[in-house]
Amino acid sequence: MGFLNIEKRNQSERKPLKRIQDWDEYRLVMPEAEVRQQAARCMDCGTPYCQIGTVLNRGTTGCPIHNLIPEWNDLVYRGLWREAYDRLIKTNNFPEFTSRACPAPCEGSCTAGIVSDPVSIKSVERSIIEHAFAEGWVVPKPPLRRTDKKIAVIGSGPAGMACADQLNKIGHNVTVFERSDRAGGLLMYGIPSMKIEKDVVDRRVRLLEDEGIVFKTGVDVGKDITESELRAEFDAVVLCTGAGKHRDVPIEGRQLSGVLPAMDYLTASNRHLLYQEPLLPDLDAHGKKVIVIGGGDTGEDCVATAIRQGCKSVVQFGKHGQLPGKRVENNPWPEHPNVFSLDYAYHEAEELFGKDPRAYYVETKKFLGNASGHVTSLMTGSFKSETVAEKKWDADLVLIAIGFKGAEDRLFDDFQIDRDPSGRKVQANDQDYQTSEDGVFAAGDVRRGATLIVWAIEEGRRAAASVAMYLDRKPSPLVNE
């Protein structure tokens, strides 16, 4: 009866006005006594919807990697931390990433949430993995034997790393190619440090290297090495390049300087922190009036980044209305609850500027600039009503965060593979993850479209299983390292 008798608590957060002075993670690991109490709220129900991992009403319900949540909740409650860690990593290659960056669809489908607050699953998960690191349980475990099979994984985000990890575990020789100068994909350069500090990503990459995976960074496949060269050297290729083609707003004034894609801005900010690279003027929000177009997580990260850079003001435009305070009739359990919340960046903006930065039903009509070609303002209308008068907003920096269109166009030319019917993703089915080219597989956002980190990990794991079966049809004797 813990879910009725114990009040739900999440990981505590550093105070907003304190944390915006640095780039450290804003959440703190829950103390052991408290996390054991929170784990006791789990019902250990007979049908744990928290781990079903499916899509309902176009939203993710439950955990796509099918984490054994009730099992490790019970083990944490009983103080059996090593056993909890062992259960956690049976399904999740990188709990330190998911417990920081995943929106926790598992909690939205938690059965306890029907009559009470759901279990703090994400907080428990982070406590388990950080406890395991602190105790020295997370150590390199290279395979005892190696095959003579070689696999190239293109892209080192969560899908690519998960795929590489699974294939390496069974003894295959895996090389991960990454065109950036550091491994991690969006985990490294797309997500701000206050959500995932970069030494957390580096820690996992070092472990994978110590287990035998080779990371080749600064290699742009298709330019630095061709598809034919890859196919000649490797027995299989897995494309995990993500959905890097951003959506744009093709309206008047889009060519003005100071109007740019959100990911360019976030990447520059992360590089500045990692290497002390100077920020170009258009990538620095200091002293500027910032407008973020797009109401999703990337837009929220832009708000938090602009605040830390010292912006003068920040507003985030959303095309939809404010979410309700509780579930509505067409959003029943176990669907992910589409309800209003004051997430980290909005809490910070409210504390700093005195109000939530979000504006709703806003349609950007055109950008206006000065004689030197730099944005100075923009005009908006309303997605809700055509009768709403146009409004002018002052802006020195405009960040476009309206999502991604899918895989980059050059990928299809580089590998001569088919697109799916939408024309945005690689054509590869859910059964074997193989593209139209024999021996070339695809996983993650490049195949599925931009989505959650847990889907990327699941895609990488499933693609690895398909690659392993493909290679089994080309048997060869095991060889010693």
- Please check whether residue 99 is in contact with residue 126, taking contact to mean a CB–CB distance below 8 angstroms: yes
Exposure pattern of 422-456 as b/e (b: 16+ CB <10 Å)?
eebbbbbeeeebbbebebbbbbbbbbbbbbbbbbb
Contact between 307 and 414 under an 8 Å Cβ cutoff? The reply is: no
pLDDT of residue 477: 52
CA angle 367, 369, 374 (to 5 degrees): 110
Q: Residues of the chain with pLDDT > 70: what percent?
A: 98
Q: What is the pLDDT of residue 481?
A: 45
**Highest-pLDDT range among 304-308, 419-423, 427-431:** 304-308
What is the pLDDT confidence band of residue 377, given thresholds at 50, 70 and 90? very high
In degrees rounded to 5, what are phi and psi of residue 177?
Answer: -100, 130
Start-to-end CA span in the chain (Å): 53
**Per-residue pLDDT tens digits for 155-186:** 999 999 999 999 999 999 999 999 999 999 99
pLDDT at 135 over 50: yes
pLDDT of amino acid 466: 98
The one-letter amino acid at 393: W
Per-residue pLDDT of 1-29, as tens digits, reads: 577 789 999 999 999 999 999 999 999 99
Average pLDDT over every residue of 58-85: 97
Model confidence at 479: pLDDT above 70: no
Label residue 449 by pLDDT band (50, 70, 90). very high
Q: Which residue reads 């404010």 in tokens?
A: 322
- Position 476 confidence tier, pLDDT thresholds 50, 70, 90: low
246, 404 in Cβ contact below 8 A? yes
| 375 or 4: which leads in pLDDT | 375
- What's the predicted TM-score (pTM) here? 0.96
Domains observed in the chain: 2-135 (1.10.1060.10), 150-245+405-472 (3.50.50.60), 248-402 (3.50.50.60)
> Who contacts 401 (Cβ-Cβ below 8 Å, separation ≥6)?
261, 262, 292, 293, 294, 296, 298, 299, 302
Strand segments, DSSP code E, in 232-361 are 236-239, 245-246, 259-261, 289-293, 313-317, 358-359
Q: What is the mean pLDDT of residues 288-314?
A: 97
Q: State the pLDDT at residue 3.
A: 75
Q: Are 68 and 28 in contact (CB under 8 A)?
A: no
As a whole-number percent, the residues of the chain with pLDDT over 90 amount to: 94
Q: What is the pLDDT of residues 190-226, one digit of tens each?
A: 999 999 999 999 999 999 999 999 999 999 999 999 9
